[in-house]
A = this chain, B = another copy of it.
Amino acid sequence: MTSQHPAPRTRLGRAPERGHHDRQTIDAILDAGFVCHLGFVVDGHPTVVPTIYGRDGDTVYVHGSVASRAMRADVLDVCLTVTHVDALVLARSGFHHSLNYRSVMVLGEARRVTDGDEAMRALALITDHVVPDRWAHTRPPSRKEMAATAVLALPLDLASAKVRAHGVSDDGEDLDGPWWAGLVPLATVAGAAEPDPLLPPGTAVPDHVRDWRPR
């Protein structure tokens, strides 16, 4: 499956060789993370907030508090960006320093989900996107909690990815210089689960938590 691109707003101006519009690449990057940076415009000014998300096929869901004015809109024009940093790229020149990274930008109009069943499914999806199988191991939301929660659905129609995943690219005339160059790989790791002190003594860490790893 491919998205309908490149559309003008997602055409890549810089480093076009890093650009991807195929859904396989886009979905893999979205599915490898759980925190996005959601941008929207408030009174003409940009606002960027970190939040978690989940993907269901061609839709990305995010949630927030209904106390947030942006979240209460029927439709919110957003840019949802997900970034994984994989390595420092230390070149011989300052100019060619870079990062290896995988990034997705989803543009478009996020629709406020008003159907209760869809909202519930989206919350389960977001929760399980962060920790697979978590939703089934939690107390389901109450009516009051659902009423306090806004869910937004953003289609993946206007999505694009940028990926840099190679070594140092220095100018030929710098190769004989005295400067060290190379990569420093980066990764996110999880420590051992820390049980809530209020759990009954001896409670085992469940499999879905013990086996969780950053993707």
| Residues of chain A whose beta carbon lies under 8 Å from any beta carbon of chain B | 9, 13-14, 35, 37-41, 44-50, 52, 65, 67-69, 77-81, 83, 85, 87-88, 90-95, 97, 99, 101, 103, 105, 107, 123-124, 127, 130-131, 134-135, 137-142, 145, 149, 167-168, 170, 174-175, 177, 179-199, 203, 205-206, 209, 212, 214
Query: Which 10 pairs of residues, A with B, have the shortest CB-CB distance?
Result: A185-B191, A39-B48, A37-B37, A39-B46, A50-B83, A181-B196, A39-B39, A48-B81, A182-B195, A95-B145
Tell me whether A199 and B180 are in contact (CB under 8 A).
yes
User: Chain B nearest CB: distance from A158 CB in Å?
Assistant: 10
The answer for the CA separation of A201 and B138 in the assembled complex, in Å, is: 56
User: Chain B nearest CB: distance from A152 CB in Å?
Assistant: 14
| Inter-chain contacts of A194 with B (CB < 8 A) | 87, 167, 182-185
Contact status of A91 and B37, CB under 8 A, knowing A68-B13, A185-B190, A187-B189? no
- Copies of this protein in the complex: 2
The answer for the CA separation of A101 and B87 in the assembled complex, in Å, is: 22
Tell me whether B139 and A13 are in contact (CB under 8 A).
no
Q: Write 12 A-B pairs (CB below 8 A) sorted by A numbering.
A: A14-B67, A39-B47, A41-B41, A46-B46, A139-B174, A167-B194, A168-B198, A170-B198, A181-B199, A182-B193, A185-B192, A185-B194
Tell me whether B209 and A90 are in contact (CB under 8 A).
yes
| Inter-chain contacts of A83 with B (CB < 8 A) | 35, 37, 50
Tell me whether B184 and A145 are in contact (CB under 8 A).
no
Tell me whether A13 and B67 are in contact (CB under 8 A).
yes
Given A37-B50, A185-B190, A187-B188, 6 further pairs, Cβ under 8 A = A14-B65, A46-B78, A48-B81, A48-B105, A94-B141, A182-B193
